[in-house]
Structure 1
């Protein structure tokens, strides 16, 4: 069993390997969370050694860390073309589909991943699972207006897929958690998600759903830190 300290060390090693894909002059998408923090710190070391890059952060937390590391950032209003985005994941299935959003930044993370020419996912081996779901809920970002109606429709879609489960409003400090965009997050707890692509499509058809934490077919490279070393997997595109 990997301890939290060991898992963090594996994340750091994988993050350092991922930063090796970044080239001079590139625009880099910067994720959010503990793994992304290691990525930003590793990039900061390279910047101080002479690497010139510009970053697109997916949260205020990441932006502040990047600035502290001397990484130049692009404004959200700029029409950027991201060369490579590097981010963590809460779960990865054998087809490199992901659940993301445990940190609440899933909307920006998906925008950045979709805008990147190359999307690199960094994890420790414990995040690799046979199927999405089970030990980690699926975050779904929703509009505050009418969220209870949206919640019922999410449950209905989950039931229609045979997943069932429970939808819970994410809270922080006894109050509904709000994303930086001012939305709520509903966490869908199901045993497993057998059809991530179909499920993502149907959830996104619900009025009130802003975005889901399912990242299907977006990963280009997976870098996993394991006890045996770094494992790199390339996505197989049909």
Structure 2
């Protein structure tokens, strides 16, 4: 069976040039891309790599690559990452890892933010399959939950709880994470703004029209998709 994520990573790899500063998210496709970088002596010795993911950072350091902390960088040439789902406008939902705040910071630094993965991630319009993940300051938990419930009464809100210890899951920033599962498709543009306006919310996992292109692979081969859904 073909490894579509590997095929997408091969195309993404061709976009990287020596001397660039590259941002990396998390996931299988990103790890494939890291393996290609480390096996290319010219790139491995010249590119600076910045990641939003603890696991990716550990992998980069394990292989002796040139890693910098995000706090030491103000510009990225390209930020590569995956997502759970994205649409024809390249609006993406990144609900799984709960590191969307760090991911958005790196995406906003980049001249290009490129989504990668298999073509099952693409849908013409986002649906309500995946939850919106909200990062919340602990002291604002109750007021945030109340405001979210009032604004979207049909959505189901669930605080992420740990199965490894007693208590809630916390983000890398020490904040709480809540999943917001919609029963019907919301207005994504309005949601993007309205959720961020609630005091106590640090960030949410909707990446509204932030990506510049997507590289996806499937049975029909590899496609590069631009925000207006031109395929070339």
**3-state SS of paired residue (2:89):** coil
Match of residue 162 from structure 2: 172
C-alpha RMSD over aligned residues: 2.0
Q: Of the candidates 210, 213, 219, which is equivalent to residue 202 of structure 2?
A: 210
Alignment map for 1:109-148 (pairs within 5 Å): 109-148=103-142
Long gaps (5+) in structure 2: none
SS of the residue corresponding to residue 139 of structure 2 reads: coil
User: Is residue 46 of structure 1 aligned with residue 36 of structure 2?
Assistant: no
The answer to whether structure 1 residue 103 and structure 2 residue 97 are counterparts is yes
Residue in 2 that maps onto 1:197: 189
Write out aligned runs for 1:3-22 (5 A): 9-22=3-16
CA distance in 2, matches of 1:133, 1:188: 13
Shift of 1:139: 0.9
Q: Hey, what's the Cα distance between the residues in 2 that align with 1:104 and 1:37?
A: 18
Which shifted more, 36-45 or 57-66? Answer: 36-45
TM-score, reference length from structure 2: 0.90
Q: CA deviation at 1:235?
A: 2.3
Q: Cα–Cα, structure 1 residues 172 and 12, in superposed 2: closer, same or farther, change >3 Å? A: farther
**Following superposition, which runs of at least 4 residues in structure 1 exceed 4 angstroms of deviation?**
47-51
What is the aligned residue count? 227
Cα distance change of structure 1 residues 188 and 133 upon mapping to structure 2, 3 Å threshold: farther
How big is the shift at 1:71? 1.9
User: TM-score scaled by structure 1?
Assistant: 0.87
Which residue of structure 1 aligns with residue 212 of structure 2?
Answer: 220
> Could you give the per-residue CA deviations for residues 57-104 of structure 1, whole angstroms, max 9, x where no partner exists?
102211111112332011333243111000001110121100014111
Q: Per-residue deviation at 1:10?
A: 1.1
Change (3 A) 1:44 1:101: farther
| Structure 1 gap segments, 5+ residues each | none
Kept after mapping to 1: 8 A contact 2:80/2:113? yes
Displacement of 1:157 in angstroms is 2.3
The 1:191/1:129 distance shift into structure 2, 3 A limit, reads farther
Q: Secondary structure at the match of 2:152?
A: helix
